[in-house]
């Protein structure tokens, strides 16, 4: 038996004018079938669609990319044809194809592109102004047994609770046939969105996950982060990151809240005089420092409950031409 709370999260906060990448929220297929995950890049018609796979508790893994007019798909480490491929029906409509689906394919798949119409992400190499834009993600359910309807029980608030200005309904779901479900609560034709506070205001937890984003070829650097940091509200959080053998690239930081997609925060290079920020992140709340060419820190000042998240440190490893992140 599991308890499901209906919650609402903002997946991505972008600046005005940035394109919106659209994906189907959920696809369920049987083991052995083919899964087709669609993605619309919005106003972007001159850049490729990149796909990432994120399993529960893991970091996003770069899978592949395809651009309009390309003769073949470009793959990340660990992904190849004929299991994975991609197609397009227009300059902005792409699909990820997963053949002979297995239970290991159960994950959330994110579509990503670059929007060059706004100045948000600045490369110190060529000063190209582009914005990283993620879709909301498509959850892929894989089933290899007969589906049976779950047993749903709605637990109403107590009489005493109803006297308060805010009451909570709890939906119990039993005998669920799939591992990933969507629950929509509708009462009297009105859609109810139930929210809950996952941390108290006296102490919050910032998770700095240590995951391998890619299974890369031998010799690629390993980016190292502390697995967990706990701070009190109002204090300063310092998240460390070691870039391994990389000493000539910047450290990029991403924030991912529960149920959300990674948000680009900032990046910093040891020769730079200032930090370069993504949309929605700025000083003095967020900043970055370094103690060497490969040791960087993300600083979160005056920590609040909204800062509870997983923070990923990422860099480029030019020695293997792969994308490495933790």
Q: pLDDT by residue (tens digit) across 211-247? A: 223 333 345 567 788 777 888 888 899 999 998 888 8
Residues 213, 111: Cα–Cα separation, whole Å? 16
Residue 190 within any structural domain of the chain: no
- Do 14 and 123 belong together in one domain? yes
Residue 155 within any structural domain of the chain: no
According to DSSP, the residues that pair with 317 across neighbouring strands are 322
Q: pLDDT by residue (tens digit) across 279-322? A: 889 999 999 999 999 899 999 999 988 888 889 888 887 665 44
Helix (H), strand (E) at residue 160 = helix 159-162
Residues 3, 212: Cα–Cα separation, whole Å? 30
Contact 311, 252 (CB under 8 A): no
- Do 116 and 10 belong together in one domain? yes
Residue 245 within any structural domain of the chain: yes
CATH of the domain at 273: 2.60.40.10
Residues 15, 131: Cα–Cα separation, whole Å? 10
Residues 91, 42: Cα–Cα separation, whole Å? 10
Residues 225, 254: Cα–Cα separation, whole Å? 13
Structural domain boundaries enclosing 231: 203-325
Contact 199, 305 (CB under 8 A): yes
Question: Cis ω on the peptide bond leading into residue 82 (within 30° of 0)?
Answer: yes
- Do 210 and 311 belong together in one domain? yes
Q: How many domains does the chain have?
A: 2
- Do 127 and 212 belong together in one domain? no
| pLDDT at residue 73 tops 50 | yes
Residue 178 within any structural domain of the chain: no
Question: Of the candidates 170, 164, 173, which has an alpha carbon nearest to the alpha carbon of residue 194?
Answer: 170
**Pairing of the two strands 310-317 and 251-256:** antiparallel
- Do 222 and 136 belong together in one domain? no
- Do 112 and 219 belong together in one domain? no
pTM: 0.50
Residue 195 within any structural domain of the chain: no
Residue 311 within any structural domain of the chain: yes
- Do 209 and 309 belong together in one domain? yes
Residue 290 within any structural domain of the chain: yes
Residue 117 within any structural domain of the chain: yes
- Do 126 and 223 belong together in one domain? no
Question: Of the candidates 8, 232, 278, 235, which has an alpha carbon nearest to the alpha carbon of residue 134?
Answer: 278
List Cβ neighbours of 35 (8 Å cut-off, separation of 6 or more): 27, 29, 97, 98, 101, 105, 140
Sign of CA dihedral 317, 320, 322, 324: negative
Q: pLDDT tier at 92 (50, 70, 90 boundaries)?
A: very high
Q: Among 112, 127, 143, which residue terminates a domain?
A: 143
Contact 326, 59 (CB under 8 A): yes
Task: Tell me what pLDDT residue 309 has.
Answer: 87
According to DSSP, the residues that pair with 283 across neighbouring strands are none
Q: Among 111, 143, 175, which residue terminates a domain?
A: 143
- CA–chain centroid gap for 299, Å, is 21
Q: Among 121, 143, 165, which residue terminates a domain?
A: 143
Report CA-CA distances (Å) from 171 to 3, 5, 155.
6, 7, 6
Residue 323: CA count within 13 A, CB half-sphere: 17
Q: pLDDT by residue (tens digit) across 14-51? A: 344 567 888 988 888 999 999 999 999 988 888 899 99
- Do 109 and 211 belong together in one domain? no
- Do 128 and 18 belong together in one domain? yes
Report CA-CA distances (Å) from 49 to 64, 87, 88, 134.
8, 10, 9, 10
């Amino acid at each position: 038996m599991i308890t499901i709370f209906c919650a609402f999260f903002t997946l991505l906060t972008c600046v005005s004018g940035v394109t919106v990448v659209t994906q189907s929220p959920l696809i369920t297929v049987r083991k052995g079938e083919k899964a087709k995950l669609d993605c619309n890049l919005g106003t972007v018609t001159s850049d490729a669609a990149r796909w990432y796979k994120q399993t529960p508790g893991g970091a996003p893994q770069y899978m592949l990319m395809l651009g309009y007019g390309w003769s073949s798909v470009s793959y990340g480490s660990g992904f190849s044809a004929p299991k994975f491929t991609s197609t397009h029906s227009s300059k902005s409509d792409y699909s990820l194809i997963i053949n002979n689906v297995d239970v290991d394919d159960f994950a959330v798949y994110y579509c990503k592109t670059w929007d060059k119409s706004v100045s948000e992400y600045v490369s110190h190499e060529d000063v190209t102004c582009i914005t990283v834009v993620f879709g909301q993600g498509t959850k892929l359910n894989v089933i290899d047994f007969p589906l049976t309807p779950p047993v749903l029980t709605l637990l109403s608030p107590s009489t005493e609770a109803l006297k308060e200005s805010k009451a909570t309904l709890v939906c119990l779901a039993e005998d669920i046939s799939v591992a990933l479900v969507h629950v929509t609560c509708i009462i009297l034709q009105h859609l109810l969105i139930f929210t809950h506070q996952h941390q108290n205001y006296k102490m919050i937890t910032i998770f700095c996950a240590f995951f391998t984003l890619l299974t890369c070829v031998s010799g690629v650097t390993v980016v190292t982060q502390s697995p967990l940091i706990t701070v009190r509200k109002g204090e300063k959080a310092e998240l460390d990151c070691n870039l391994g053998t990389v000493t000539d690239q910047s450290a990029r930081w991403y924030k991912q809240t529960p149920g959300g997609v990674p948000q680009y925060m900032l990046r910093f290079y040891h020769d730079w005089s200032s930090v370069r920020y993504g949309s929605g992140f700025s000083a003095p709340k967020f900043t970055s420092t370094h103690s060497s060419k490969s040791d960087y820190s993300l600083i979160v000042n005056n920590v609040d409950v909204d800062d509870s998240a997983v923070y990923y440190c990422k860099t480029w490893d030019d020695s293997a031409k792969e994308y490495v992140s933790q």
